[in-house]
Structure 1
Amino acid sequence: MAYIQGESRNQTSLFPVSIDEVIPEDHLVRVIDAYVSRLDLRVLGFDKAIPKGNGRPPYNPADLLKLYIYGYFQRIRSSRRLEAECQRNIEVMWLLNRLAPDFKTIADFRKDNATAFSATCRAFVQFCRTAGLVKGDLVAIDGSKFKAVASARRHISTKHLKRDQEKLDRRIAKYLEDLDCADRDENEEVVDRSAVKTVLAKLTAKRDDYLTCQALMDELQITQFISTESDARMMRAPQGMAVAYNVQTAVDAENSLIVHHEVTQEGDDRKQLEPMAKATQEVLEQPNLTVTADAGYSNGEHFQACDDAGITAYVPINRGNNIEDPTFFGRDDFNYDQQNDRYQCPAGRFLPLLQLNKGQRIYRANANDCGSCPLKHRCTKSRYRSIKRHVHEEAFERMKQRMQAHPEMVDARRSIVEHPFGNLKQWIYGNGRFLLRQLKGARTEMALAINAYNLKRAINVLGVRRMIELLA
């Protein structure tokens, strides 16, 4: 039995097949073409959106934007690989009308339009709102670490500098001690003083470099520095410590579309709830907003700020126990007297306000009261018991009651916000590492990646034909 045979390479045709006939009507590239065609690139801030009247004509930024969106869809982020796709991929040939820009032109377009890519993200979110894909009833906020280009070996911290300096001091002291011993004991073997002095000079120069670095970092008020990428930070990631950025996303519950994102240098999420919630509220143009986040966002100041802004947050409380021993009375065993601003202990004694310290109100019992208390063995080992109360303790209490009334918000957050991060890391980024350096480059890449993710998510929900109808 013969094999299935193809057409001969030398076969000619009276009516050649056009590229448009090869691309199906419901193909992805048709959506990308319709989407970019409806954008006003001049308003979004793209470079060369208005061509000059003289000189060599530039490439249309719309064509290069189509190329990048297609590339991030297909996990192709390298400008050299995108250049190759222009010359061999029939889908890209259709999308760009057979244009084939070189890799430098492609790379410069991404480098020069960082702000415009973020504006394009926001524009697509507004389109999703008009299409009914984003409701804004519930938004989940979360953060994840994305590795930077720099290696962890390029990381410098004041802690490591001080440790290495101490090691050098000990080595220098040992060499000097050996020289003193040789001077005191004439029977010792002859010491090569020139070699020792050479080593001492190198060690001293290295120590001076460490001291200079520490002084410079103290002056700049920084505790760590990456020599090849100064904007990145050493952060705790699931795989251990890594040089990375902390990417924050706000995801709408209706269709898991990312309505707002930010690339930050913060190693944790404690200071991200208020800025992310307020930015999302501004994007959705809603006076009231409901958000949920994990315990890493627990922050009394931010709870209060969200309440003041009309944002109802659901965040599990994460704070210290304020007790010396888990068998002792905890904060919840003490009753707060709001009228007199004091606490009452389980034995009926009062703890008045002692002082304010870095956002904490400290209440302390009288030493005589604690000394004669029959419950002291269950309360403290010190002379007296003290209680710390946060300045925004009422906000913590409101959050606690809110979470007790709606415990399902914990599972809701997980199902809404972790799916997009999984896609971004595996589908778009592969190993979760940025290609561009510095905070500006990381934000550029993340804007492109989220634009591609949102577009694909909208296609999955509406279908290609419906998307094209809405974009027309």
Structure 2
Amino acid sequence: MYIQYTMDPLCLPMDLEDDIPENHLVRVVNTAVNRLDDAIFDAAYPGGGRDSYHPKMLTKIIIYAYTQRIYSSRQIAKAVRENIPFMWLAGRQRPDFRTINRFRSQRMKDVLQTVFTTVLEFLADEKYISLDHYFIDGTKIEANANRYTFVWGKAVSKHKVKLQEQVHALFANIEAAEDQEEHECLGRDLPELGESSELSSEKLEQVTQKLEAQLLEKPKDKLLKKVVRKLRKDLLPRLLKYEQYQVLLGDRNSFSKTDPDAGYGSEENYAYLEKKEIQAVVKYGSYHKEKSKAWKENVGMIENWTYTETEDTWMCPAGQTLHFRKESKEIVESGYEIRKRHYRSESCEGCPLREVCTKAAGNREVVVSLEQLRYQKQAREILRSEEGPALTVRRMTEPESVFGQLKSNWGFRRFLLRGMEKVTPQVGWLSLAHNLLKQATNDQKRKAAIPQ
């Protein structure tokens, strides 16, 4: 009437492998990790003390846990005690949550990249993936930290306008508070800025330097000292920061503060790819804007001017020549050095295009990185070639499916650990788990395609 049921213990432990289907994902994880050379893990174990759990066993249970949407070290330890596939991978051993957490965050931080690369090579050798193209995109995953980590485009524009108003008000106060004859030289600085124009950090830097020179002549001028301090310590750094934010934003609405290189089409990235002899099919911030009619008709954009390399001069649409003045250097946060060249027109007086070209009182001056323009030209030619549109479409689909898997299917929307040293390995574990899950899916498709 009933199937025989007993809870009496067996004399011998049961073989857990009998309970795991042949095409189960856990077998794919087990096979992939077993193929790794034990020497890969040696660097993480300097020796001494009691014997450690085998790193391959810990690697298996962590990868498999991530495929099952289990990210907490306590939940992984619980699964190893209660879940048959986990018990099989662990060989019935029971590492506690501290051991698991220490292994994935500390021991593996310098080894995980090698493990990931080796598994990737296995997948490439067996034709699961192709390494001909690399598709890059970004996604936002919350940090286990401050929630105010994103820069929004509208906020940057609003704060930049307010800052410019503060600068104009500052100079207006100088004129109102002091006798016109006493501060006659200061009155000339405001028209240089262009009272109704948009300020640039470069122009504000020039004015600040002039005021600092005047302060050396009048060291007791309290108002002048206050203005210089306000410009140098507050307004100028903020304006420079807003300009950098707008460059990083490009066509996007926001980017994360934790990603200072959010614009993939930066000069530093292009230089890195060129050094590695990798063809850069990477869009830069203004790529889509360049296609618009407004951009092409904007006579003030240096991209619409003519550059003569032999003479190192620029010619604007009005026929004026801008000659080289000086070179400056900008060091970005990573330490990369950007060389910028400064050019100035001989005379913009009486130019019919002046109103639409510049609102500055003096002659037009531009600052440009010739290397960045060269990289952008190369990228533009590739992106608009026959192959470019097809690669662009694939770039929109290849990475997005991965992000959809991690965030929607696996529910991974927030990091559990803090600090780049701990967060970076967590991304590595997720990537390993994703790749092996795709391998298991492809294996099933291949078997299904074989006639029975």
TM-score (norm 1): 0.60
The alpha-carbon distance between structure 1 residues 89 and 343, as it changes in their structure 2 partners (threshold 3 A), is same
Q: Which residue of 1 aligns with 2:364?
A: 385
Quote the offset at 1:33 in angstroms. Answer: 2.0
Give the Cα separation in 1 of the matches to 2:136 and 2:36. 28
Cα deviation 1:33-64 (Å, max 9, x = unaligned) = 222222223333364598x7xx7554322222
Q: Which residue, 376, 399, 423 being the options, matches 2:379?
A: 399
Give the Cα separation in 1 of the matches to 2:446 and 2:350. 80
Quote the offset at 1:134 in angstroms. Answer: 3.2
Quote the offset at 1:398 in angstroms. Answer: 2.2
1:80 has 2:74 as partner: yes
Secondary structure of 1:145's aligned partner: coil
The alpha-carbon distance between structure 1 residues 129 and 318, as it changes in their structure 2 partners (threshold 3 A), is same
User: 1:364·1:386 contact (CA, 8 Å) conserved in 2?
Assistant: yes
1:266 has 2:259 as partner: yes
Instruction: Quote the RMSD (CA, aligned, Å).
Output: 3.8
Q: Which residue of 1 aligns with 2:20?
A: 23
Q: Which residue of 1 aligns with 2:393?
A: 411
The alpha-carbon distance between structure 1 residues 361 and 425, as it changes in their structure 2 partners (threshold 3 A), is same
Task: Look up the equivalent residue of 1:311 and give its one-letter code.
Answer: I
Q: Which residue of 2 aligns with 1:317?
A: 284
Matches within 5 A, 1:268-307: 268-269=261-262, 296-307=263-274
Matches within 5 A, 1:2-21: 7=3, 9-10=5-6, 18-21=15-18
1:38 has 2:32 as partner: no
User: 1:147·1:433 contact (CA, 8 Å) conserved in 2?
Assistant: yes
Give the Cα separation in 1 of the matches to 2:357 and 2:148. 48
Quote the offset at 1:454 in angstroms. Answer: 1.1
Q: Which residue, 324, 340, 356 being the options, matches 1:360?
A: 340
Give the Cα separation in 2 of the matches to 1:67 and 1:315. 37
User: 1:336·1:343 contact (CA, 8 Å) conserved in 2?
Assistant: yes
Give the Cα separation in 2 of the matches to 1:18 and 1:266. 49
Task: Look up the equivalent residue of 1:402 and give its one-letter code.
Answer: I
Q: Which residue of 2 aligns with 1:96?
A: 90
Q: Which residue of 1 aligns with 2:310?
A: 339
Give the Cα separation in 2 of the matches to 1:14 and 1:360. 78
User: 2:45·2:107 contact (CA, 8 Å) conserved in 1?
Assistant: no
Task: Look up the equivalent residue of 1:346 and give its one-letter code.
Answer: P
Quote the offset at 1:436 in angstroms. Answer: 2.3
User: 1:27·1:464 contact (CA, 8 Å) conserved in 2?
Assistant: no
Task: Look up the equivalent residue of 1:455 and give its one-letter code.
Answer: L
User: 1:334·1:344 contact (CA, 8 Å) conserved in 2?
Assistant: yes
The alpha-carbon distance between structure 1 residues 239 and 79, as it changes in their structure 2 partners (threshold 3 A), is farther
Aligned residue pairs, count = 329
1:373 has 2:351 as partner: yes
Q: Which residue, 129, 132, 145 being the options, matches 1:134?
A: 129
User: 2:80·2:86 contact (CA, 8 Å) conserved in 1?
Assistant: yes
1:437 has 2:418 as partner: yes
Secondary structure of 1:336's aligned partner: strand
User: 1:117·1:444 contact (CA, 8 Å) conserved in 2?
Assistant: yes
Task: Look up the equivalent residue of 1:66 and give its one-letter code.
Answer: K
Quote the offset at 1:124 in angstroms. Answer: 0.3
Q: Which has the higher helix share?
A: 2
1:453 has 2:434 as partner: yes
Give the Cα separation in 2 of the matches to 1:400 and 1:313. 10
Task: Look up the equivalent residue of 2:36 and give its one-letter code.
Answer: L
Secondary structure of 1:357's aligned partner: strand
The alpha-carbon distance between structure 1 residues 395 and 116, as it changes in their structure 2 partners (threshold 3 A), is closer
The alpha-carbon distance between structure 1 residues 410 and 42, as it changes in their structure 2 partners (threshold 3 A), is same
The alpha-carbon distance between structure 1 residues 396 and 440, as it changes in their structure 2 partners (threshold 3 A), is same
Q: Which residue of 1 aligns with 2:197?
A: none
Q: Which residue of 2 aligns with 1:292?
A: none
User: 1:26·1:464 contact (CA, 8 Å) conserved in 2?
Assistant: no
Q: Which residue, 59, 64, 68 being the options, matches 2:58?
A: 64
Identity of aligned residues (%): 28
Task: Look up the equivalent residue of 2:400 and give its one-letter code.
Answer: E
User: 2:298·2:304 contact (CA, 8 Å) conserved in 1?
Assistant: no
1:425 has 2:410 as partner: no
The alpha-carbon distance between structure 1 residues 63 and 391, as it changes in their structure 2 partners (threshold 3 A), is same
Q: Which residue of 2 aligns with 1:348?
A: 319
Give the Cα separation in 2 of the matches to 1:332 and 1:117. 44
Q: Which has the higher strand share?
A: 1
Quote the offset at 1:72 in angstroms. Answer: 0.9
Q: Which residue, 108, 116, 122 being the options, matches 1:121?
A: 116
The alpha-carbon distance between structure 1 residues 334 and 79, as it changes in their structure 2 partners (threshold 3 A), is closer
The alpha-carbon distance between structure 1 residues 91 and 341, as it changes in their structure 2 partners (threshold 3 A), is same
Give the Cα separation in 2 of the matches to 1:56 and 1:398. 57
Give the Cα separation in 1 of the matches to 2:93 and 2:306. 74
Matches within 5 A, 1:193-272: 265-269=258-262
Quote the offset at 1:377 in angstroms. Answer: 4.2
Cα deviation 1:142-197 (Å, max 9, x = unaligned) = 23333222244899xxxxxxxxxxxxxxxxxxxxxxxxxxxxxxxxxxxxxxxxxx
User: 2:326·2:342 contact (CA, 8 Å) conserved in 1?
Assistant: yes
The alpha-carbon distance between structure 1 residues 378 and 131, as it changes in their structure 2 partners (threshold 3 A), is same
Task: Look up the equivalent residue of 1:298 and give its one-letter code.
Answer: G
Give the Cα separation in 2 of the matches to 1:8 and 1:434. 47
Q: Which residue of 2 aligns with 1:250?
A: none
Quote the offset at 1:13 in angstroms. Answer: 11
